[in-house]
Structure 1
Amino acid sequence: MHLTFFNAMQSHISQFFAGALIAISALAAHAQTQAENTRAGTVKLVKGLVQLENTQGSKALLPGDAVNVADVLTTGADGATSLVLRDGSTLIVGPSSRLELKRFAFDATTQDGNLLVSVLRGTLRMITGLIGKTRPEAVEVHTPTTIIGVLGTDFIVQAEGEVKP
Structure 2
Amino acid sequence: MNKFLIASGGLALWSATLLAQAQTPPPPAPAAPAVAEPQAGFVKSVRGNVQLLSAAGTARTASAGDALGSVDRIVTGPDSSASVVLRDDTTLVIGPSSRMDLKEFHFDATTRDGGLLVSLLRGSMRMITGLIGKTNPDAVRVETQTATIGIRGTDFIVQTDGQP
Are 1:96 and 2:97 an aligned pair?
A: yes
Show the 5 A alignment for 1:18-97.
34-35=35-36, 37-54=37-54, 55-97=56-98
Contact 2:104 2:117 in 1 (8 A): yes
What amino acid is the match of 2:47?
K
SS of the equivalent of 1:137 reads helix
For the residue of structure 1 that corresponds to 2:116, the secondary structure is strand
Any idea what the Cα deviations from partners look like across 1:74-133, whole Å, max 9, x if unmatched?
A: 000011000100000000000000000001010000001000000000000000000000
- Whether the 8 Å CA contact 2:94–2:125 is kept in 1: the answer is yes
The number of residues matched between the two structures is: 133
Identify the residue that residue 23 of structure 2 maps to in structure 1.
none
Q: CA RMSD in A?
A: 1.5
Q: Provide structure 2 residue ranges, at least 5 long, that are not aligned to the other structure.
A: 1-29
Instruction: Report which of the two has the higher share of helix.
Output: 1
Q: Distance in 2 between matches of 1:98 and 1:69?
A: 16
CA contact (8 A) 2:53 2:73 kept: yes
String of CA shifts for 1:127-155, please: whole Å, max 9, x gaps.
00000000000000000100000000000
Report deviation, 1:69.
2.1
Which amino acid in structure 1 is aligned with residue 59 of structure 2?
S
SS in 2 for 1:131: helix
Q: Percent of aligned pairs with the same residue? A: 55
String of CA shifts for 1:34-88, please: whole Å, max 9, x gaps.
44x4200110000000001121511100111011122110000011000100000
Q: Within 1, Cα distance between the matches of 2:110 and 2:101?
A: 26
Q: 1:162 to 1:43 in 2, by over 3 A?
A: farther
Specify every segment of 5 or more residues in structure 1 that has no aligned partner in the other structure, as ranges: 1-22
TM-score, with structure 1 as normaliser? 0.76
The higher radius of gyration belongs to: 2
Where does structure 1 differ by over 6 angstroms across 4 or more consecutive aligned residues?
Answer: none
Please give the secondary structure, in 2, of the residue aligned with 1:59.
strand
